[in-house]
Amino acid sequence: MQTTIDVTRTTAPKAKPKDSELRFGTVFTDHMALMSYAEGSGWSDPHIIPYGPISLDPAASVLHYAQAIFDGAKAFHGEDGVIRLFRPKKHLERMSGSARRMCIPAFDAERVLDALLTLVDLDREWVPKASGTALYIRPVIIATEPFLGVRPSKDYLLYIILSPVGNYYAEGMSPLRILVSDRYVRAVEGGVGAAKTAGNYAASLNAHRACARRSPICWQNTTRPSRSIRTSAPCWSTSSP
């Protein structure tokens, strides 16, 4: 793949897991892509480095005010040996919408897509081949300016990591038991429910912890009067999300 992105390859490749042992989101590939933003100079050019920890100031805005967004896409290994991504441009369009809602500066989706594709190509040997598996692609933007105060950050980090995954739920593609929650609320009218932002998922943790098992939650419409629904009674969906 032809690219102008600067790539620093790892000198210590990791052992790759067997497809049959894959869970969701616990193993990560050898490399990650990075871009940074500074007010006045905009987004830097993307570059790829070996996967590893990132450094944050203890006062970084994301740690205090949760100015963070992410998205998730997948790459699949075809029977013909070709690696295919499912709608990566649409995922970046959604991420752009999340950025607008969370006051994060607009990014060049084509540059990010180039970085994403280059990263997947570099770590293509990590794409699992077994049915029901995929290479999960997680782009993230976090606010990195060190300050205390409620306002949008002036500095940001965009990074992309990859993870070979199995099914998200243990049931795979079998029908799922869904908990209908009438106690906890994930999003409200006028809020940030349409954005893939960290706080939305933090708001769901209590409801998930209330489940005896790892089940998806059916959130009720909070603009209507609540109804009495037994949260312990499961209903059924026909497929995994």
Pairing type for strands 234-237 and 176-181 reads antiparallel
pLDDT of residue 207: 72
- Total structural domains within the chain: 2
Give yes or no: residues 161 and 192 share one domain: no
Give yes or no: residues 65 and 148 share one domain: yes
Question: CA-to-CA distance for 168 and 241, rounded, in angstroms?
Answer: 9
Give yes or no: residues 180 and 130 share one domain: no
Question: CA-to-CA distance for 201 and 220, rounded, in angstroms?
Answer: 16
CB 209 within 8 A of CB 83: no
Q: What is the mean pLDDT of residues 101-111?
A: 95
CATH of the domain at 49: 3.30.470.10
Give yes or no: residues 153 and 185 share one domain: no
pLDDT band at 167 (very low <50, low <70, confident <90, very high): confident
pTM: 0.84
Residues of the domain holding 93 = 18-165
The tens digit of pLDDT for each residue in 195-239 reads 898 888 887 777 777 665 555 655 555 554 444 333 333 333 333
pLDDT higher at 185 or 144 = 144
Positive/negative CA dihedral, 210, 211, 216, 218: negative
The tens digit of pLDDT for each residue in 51-98 reads 999 999 999 999 999 999 999 999 999 989 999 999 999 999 999 999
Question: CA-to-CA distance for 207 and 217, rounded, in angstroms?
Answer: 8
pLDDT higher at 168 or 240 = 168
* Number of neighbouring beta carbons within 10 Å of residue 180: 16
In a domain, 170, yes or no: no
Q: Which of 105, 135, 165 is the last residue of a domain?
A: 165
Give yes or no: residues 144 and 40 share one domain: yes
The tens digit of pLDDT for each residue in 40-52 reads 999 999 999 999 9
Give yes or no: residues 136 and 25 share one domain: yes
In a domain, 184, yes or no: yes
94 sits in which H/E element: helix 88-101
* Number of neighbouring beta carbons within 10 Å of residue 73: 23
DSSP 37-83: EETTTEEPPPEEEES------TTBHHHHH--EEE--EEEEE-TTS-E
pLDDT of residue 211: 65
Q: Which of 135, 165, 195 is the last residue of a domain?
A: 165
Active site members = 196
pLDDT of residue 201: 81
Tell me what the pLDDT averaged over the chain comes to.
Answer: 84
The tens digit of pLDDT for each residue in 122-155 reads 999 999 999 889 999 999 999 999 999 999 999 9
In a domain, 230, yes or no: yes
Cα dist. 141→72, 153, 159 in Å?
12, 12, 7
Give yes or no: residues 106 and 211 share one domain: no
Q: Which of 165, 191, 208 is the last residue of a domain?
A: 165
pLDDT higher at 112 or 190 = 112
In a domain, 123, yes or no: yes
pLDDT band at 193 (very low <50, low <70, confident <90, very high): confident
| Whether residue 6 has pLDDT greater than 60 | yes
pLDDT of residue 234: 37
| Whether residue 187 has pLDDT greater than 90 | no
pLDDT of residue 149: 92
Burial of 90 from C-beta contacts in 10 A (0-12 / 13-18 / 19+): exposed
Angle at 23 between CA 170 and CA 134, to 5 degrees: 100
* CB contact burial 138-152 (16+ within 10 A = b; e otherwise): bbbbbbbbeeeeeee
Dihedral angle at the C-alpha atoms of 120, 82, 90, 204, nearest 10 degrees?
-70
Give yes or no: residues 130 and 48 share one domain: yes
pLDDT band at 2 (very low <50, low <70, confident <90, very high): low
Give yes or no: residues 134 and 69 share one domain: yes
Q: What is the mean pLDDT of residues 161-169?
A: 88
Give yes or no: residues 99 and 212 share one domain: no
| Whether residue 240 has pLDDT greater than 50 | no
pLDDT of residue 135: 97
